[in-house]
Amino acid sequence: MKKFFLLIPLFVFSLIGRSQENGKIIIGKVDSVQSMILNESRKVWIYMPNGLDEKSTNRYPVVYLLDGPSHFYSVVGLIQQFSQVNGNTVCPEMIVVAIANTDRTRDLTPTYVKGDPPYVDSSFTKTSGGGEKFISFLKGELMPFIDANYPTQPFKILIGHSFGGLMAMHMLANHTEMFNAYISIDPSMWWDNMNYLKQAKEVLQKKQFTNTTLYLGYANTMEEGMDINKVQQDNSPMTRHIRSILSVDTLLRSRKNNGLWYASKFYQEDGHTTVPVITEHDALRYIFRNYRFKLESKDYVDSTADLAGKFEKHYIEASKFFGYSVFPAEKLIEGWGTEFEQIKYYGKAEKFYFLNTRYYPGSSSAHAALANFYVRRGNKAKAIESFKKSLQLKQDPITQKKLDELIK
């Protein structure tokens, strides 16, 4: 198994930089899986929230990205912005698995066609229709490999654009359980002379979902003078792309009680190649709409309000929705403790420092932060207790020195 580093110039450090080696910003690596199903080696670009440390005690949801290298940088940047930058908790920190193509037409089309003019000719489609085999690779080989080698949570998202969007819709309809959420971007639902569209709509018309989310974003691919209303009355071949998407959108919007969390948006100012980034932005916000804890000003200024209790209750409810224990990053929770301590709301500060040790019981730094708070508050007994817990998890000379001084 070969692993290569992905590099990006220094000037984008503030956006997606995670660790540095020899003056270069490293945002991920390339791993590989030898597939018996596809009879080839498949490369995947991997982003880890904690840099390149695969032995972290933290675990993360996973974003699987079709046409991976084309969208890797933008998706990683969005996730970092939403989960880390400026204390944001719009979404959790996540692992990104970007799947590189070997035969895109083969893997990302659900049926074989001899040609589908005006979009593709017979030379383009000669290997088409391998979608089910590719899905078997994802389910039987790639996902088990990622789960075995990286600190994953069970929550999974699939993102696909164009043919990738087509595959995302196919998997939503026929392999729903593989992912918790699907982001389909300007999908090629025109595939197979609109015959696949009919098949997909028949399945989606009857399908019942359980806690599954779909966000569908589509671009303005219409010619000048055409609008959404006019294009649906048009029968020309060049409008099949957007007409097919509108047809699916209309169907899904009409089904209110099928258990699918569904949202869609038409991006009038974007074309087929520019729509992925803005769709991914809006889709992540929609999928994790119940994730972020929203601080109300009255809770902040009221020194007696049990903000930590409200905070904990929120993430208990969020955990029920997402199917695993979710809460913000350790440093963000510690930051709340620090902020309340600075404005002399010591009761609130203590609760957040303590809550961090409950969420991250295996973190020596969380226990050390609580101990340092007790030192500053003059609570020697609790400081000693917390320093000892920190040292049991990880030996640190500075922490040991502080403990020795307290004991003396």
pLDDT at 8: 36
Residue 33, helix vs strand vs coil: strand
At 346, the amino acid letter reads Y
| Residue that has been written with the tokens 């404005």 in this structure | 343
CA distances from 116 to 125, 221, 326 (A): 8, 18, 45
Least confident interval from 83-97, 128-142, 300-314: 300-314
The two tokens of residue 298 are 């009255």
Q: What is the pLDDT of residues 292-303, one digit of tens each?
A: 887 777 766 676
Alpha-carbon distance of 165 to 172, in angstroms, equals 10
At 79, the amino acid letter reads I
pLDDT at 326: 86
Q: Does residue 3 contact residue 103 with C-beta atoms inside 8 Å?
A: no
Q: Which residues contact 397 (CB under 8 A, 6 or more apart)?
A: none
Alpha-carbon distance of 314 to 304, in angstroms, equals 19
The two tokens of residue 133 are 């085999």
The most confident of the ranges 85-89, 94-98, 118-122 is 94-98
Q: At residue 4, does pLDDT exceed 50?
A: no
Alpha-carbon distance of 89 to 291, in angstroms, equals 8
Confidence of residue 283 (pLDDT cuts 50, 70, 90): very high
The two tokens of residue 258 are 């099928």
- Mean pLDDT, range 192-219, rounded to an integer: 94
Least confident interval from 7-16, 51-60, 149-158, 388-397: 7-16
CATH architecture of 4-287: 3-Layer(aba) Sandwich (3.40)
Q: At residue 10, does pLDDT exceed 60?
A: no
- Mean pLDDT, range 117-143, rounded to an integer: 94
- Mean pLDDT, range 172-187, rounded to an integer: 97
Strands (E), 9-68: 19-21, 24-35, 40-47, 60-65
Q: For the chain, count helices (H), then strands (E).
A: 17, 10
- Mean pLDDT, range 163-182, rounded to an integer: 97
Q: Does residue 164 contact residue 108 with C-beta atoms inside 8 Å?
A: yes
> Distance of alpha carbon 363 from its chain centroid, rounded?
24
The phi and psi torsions of 142 (rounded to 5 degrees) equal: -70, -50
In which residue ranges of the chain is CATH 1.25.40.10 found? 297-407
Confidence of residue 286 (pLDDT cuts 50, 70, 90): very high
Q: What is the pLDDT of residues 325-381, one digit of tens each?
A: 888 888 888 988 998 899 888 988 999 999 999 999 989 999 999 999 999 999 999
By CB atoms closer than 10 A (0-12, 13-18, 19+), residue 280 is buried
- Which value, to the nearest 10 degrees, does the dihedral of the CA atoms of residues 355, 358, 363, 364 take? 70
At 222, the amino acid letter reads M
Confidence of residue 35 (pLDDT cuts 50, 70, 90): very high
The phi and psi torsions of 378 (rounded to 5 degrees) equal: 80, 20
- Mean pLDDT, range 391-400, rounded to an integer: 91
Q: At residue 216, does pLDDT exceed 90?
A: yes
Question: Regarding the domain delimited by 297-407, which CATH topology (the fold level of the hierarchy) does it fall under?
Answer: 1.25.40
pLDDT at 292: 87
Alpha-carbon distance of 115 to 80, in angstroms, equals 41
- Mean pLDDT, range 7-29, rounded to an integer: 55
Q: At residue 316, does pLDDT exceed 70?
A: yes
Residue 407, helix vs strand vs coil: helix
Q: At residue 248, does pLDDT exceed 60?
A: yes
Q: At residue 17, does pLDDT exceed 50?
A: no
pLDDT at 7: 42
Q: Pick the closest to residue 284 from 178, 183, 161, 153 (CA basis).
A: 183
CA distances from 219 to 183, 190, 200 (A): 14, 14, 20
Q: Which residues does residue 18 pair with via DSSP β-bridges, in sequence order?
A: none
Least confident interval from 48-57, 110-119, 164-173, 261-270: 48-57
In which residue ranges of the chain is CATH 3.40.50.1820 found? 4-287
CA distances from 134 to 36, 86, 158 (A): 11, 39, 14
pLDDT at 201: 94
Q: What is the DSSP string of 328-343?
A: --HHHHHHHHHHHHHT
Confidence of residue 71 (pLDDT cuts 50, 70, 90): very high
pLDDT at 1: 45
Alpha-carbon distance of 193 to 263, in angstroms, equals 26
